[in-house]
Amino acid sequence: METIIKNSLEKHLQAFKLLEGSQEKIKEIAKLFIFSLRNSGKIIFMGNGGSAADAEHLAAELVGRFKKNRKAYAAISLSSNICIMTAIGNDYGFDEIFSRQVEALARKNDLVVAISTSGGSQNVIKAISRAKELGLKTVGFLGKSGGKLKGLVDLSLLISTEDTPRIQEMHILAGHIICEVVEEELSR
């Protein structure tokens, strides 16, 4: 038990050092969030599994509040509506569950954020491709080598470790930092 705890904490610190070296990327991503929200856009998050939970979590931080009582910011998670996801999955296939929603919901000045520990989820890849066809800015919160998504998104935050739980921990930490920056900048 002690070994598992110690190893997990050590791997967390290693992943944190990767994130710590990405401060400029975090700043650039925050600027994209701010631009979108200042220009009547919304932040559209997506991911599978734990990344879906992160997508919902970050959308909630923006719509609700992070630290400050302030106006609601426009954000959605494409992982949130099980009826839409299962209808699209049933009629078009699982690979289309996000791209169909991007097509239906995305508008000018929206920012599409893909969260993927592998960078290889076909449904996320298709959605980012659709967002690019629509002329939207895209961001990837990625892990491992970044997969195919790394070359598709406009800007990626890459946590280059094979340890999925540590990648997810850094994604949510980066997301929280961005939420704090957004609240501060948009409150001025």
Q: How many whole angstroms separate alpha carbon 10 and alpha carbon 113?
A: 29
- Look at residue 188 in the predicted model and tell me its pLDDT: 83
What percent of the chain lies above the pLDDT cut of 70? 100
Which of 61, 84, 82, 95 minimizes the C-alpha distance to 176?
A: 61
**Separation of alpha carbons 100 and 175, rounded Å:** 25
The whole domain housing 176 covers 2-186
Q: Which residues are CB-neighbours of 120 under 8 A, at least 6 positions away?
A: 147, 148, 149
**Residue % of the chain over a pLDDT of 90:** 99
Residue 110 has which token pair?
A: 């929206």
- Separation of alpha carbons 47 and 35, rounded Å: 22
- Which residue carries 């996801």 as its tokens? 85
Burial 114-124 (b: 16+ CB within 10 A, else e): bbbbbbbbebb
For 61-105, the pLDDT digits (tens) are 999 999 999 999 999 999 999 999 999 999 999 999 999 999 999
- The CATH number that applies at residue 125 is 3.40.50.10490
Largest interatomic CA distance in the chain: 51
Q: Quick one: which of 131, 149, 132, 148 has its CA closest to 140?
A: 149
Low-confidence ranges of the chain (pLDDT < 50): none
* Full-model pTM: 0.96
How many domains does the structure of the chain reveal?
Answer: 1
Could you tell me if 100 and 128 are in contact, meaning their C-beta atoms sit under 8 angstroms apart? Answer: no
Q: What is the predicted pLDDT for the residue at 99?
A: 98
Amino acid identity of residue 168, one-letter, is Q
